[in-house]
Amino acid sequence: MAQGGHHPSARAGRWPALLAALVMISFVTALAAGPAAATSCWQGAGEPLASGFSGLSPEGDVRLPGDSRGRLVGVRIGPADDASYDLQALLKAWEGQALRGAGQPGPDRWSRLPVVVGDADRGDDLGLALVQHGFAMVWPPELPPNCRIRYLQAEQQARRARRGRWAMAELGLYDAGDGARVAMKAGEVIVMQGKVMHVGQTRTTTYLNFGARQIGASAEFGMPVWRALERQGWTTQTLRGQNVRVRGVASLGRPARVLVDDVSSIEFAE
């Protein structure tokens, strides 16, 4: 991701843009190099559960023994589409693969356990396979830092090839300049992209405003995310004009917004 440098003196004012450009070059180079070698993102994941992977529920949850349910860590999956032959064929190919606890905090508010499907030593992982085929989007806050570029690159390639969800206009990459369309997805996790027109702040919240006033959407996040951006060198001035991709939960408002809960969910787009 692009990062900059922030220096208070006027003389050093050139550094944020310069450092941003240098780190952007590094980021693009990493993307162009292709996925990292097959190293596992989940070294140290829990021991295999009693049974292997047996498929997803209609809601997109991982079926676990008994009445339990799991969710794949590092990705977000919509409801499993029984009509999608490609998705069902992919899931069939993974049946019986090792099903492990992810070594992350326990059940979420829907009582789903965080799990990983695949060979933790070889680096195979169903979540990444779903991203590569366009059936899931990446959720960076849950990924080990050294694996985020690998997953995000896979998502970028799937999006460019219009695979899976990215082939459908209603599920694809949202234009941050079109707040009305973002508002239609309120309550859902989406990815939107656009040029930052203005940065607004209160004592607790920062807003990246896209598009014309009352027409474009905004990205909203709290002070921990803003402090992380500051440590990377970004300021309210240097963020203006940047092409930014954010992922989070869409929310109604004037303007519509996407709620971002981790700095890893903010990307500086190519």
| 143 and 72 within one domain | yes
Average pLDDT (203-208) is 95
Token reading at 53: 């992977």
21: phi then psi, degrees, rounded to nearest 5: -65, -40
What pLDDT shows up at residue 19? 40
- Taking CA 269 as the corner, what is the angle to CA 243 and CA 164, rounded to the nearest 5 degrees? 125
Token reading at 246: 């954010």
- Of 144, 166, 188, the residue at which a domain comes to its end is 166
Interval 34-65: pLDDT, tens: 333 345 677 666 677 777 899 888 888 898 87
> Which residue, among 213, 214, 209, has the nearest Cα to 194 in the 3D structure?
209
What pLDDT shows up at residue 29? 36
What pLDDT shows up at residue 21? 43
**What amino acid is encoded at 67 in this protein?**
D
| 179 and 162 within one domain | no
Token reading at 230: 């500051």
Cα-based torsion angle of the residue sequence 26, 206, 196, 183 in order, rounded to the nearest 10 degrees: 120
> Which residue, among 102, 91, 83, has the nearest Cα to 53 in the 3D structure?
91
Q: Is residue 264 part of a domain?
A: yes
| 214 and 160 within one domain | no
Interval 236-267: pLDDT, tens: 999 999 999 999 999 988 889 999 999 999 99
- Taking CA 252 as the corner, what is the angle to CA 251 and CA 255, rounded to the nearest 5 degrees? 105
What pLDDT shows up at residue 98? 85
- Of 147, 166, 185, the residue at which a domain comes to its end is 166
Environment class of 37 (CB within 10 Å of its CB; exposed 0-12, middle 13-18, buried 19+): exposed
What pLDDT shows up at residue 9? 34
Q: Is residue 73 part of a domain?
A: yes
Domain housing 102: 62-166
Please report which helix (H) or strand (E) contains residue 100, including its range: strand 99-101
Q: Model pTM?
A: 0.73
What pLDDT shows up at residue 57? 86
8 A C-beta contact, residue 187 and residue 194: no
pLDDT tier at 206 (50, 70, 90 boundaries)? very high
Q: Is residue 50 part of a domain?
A: no
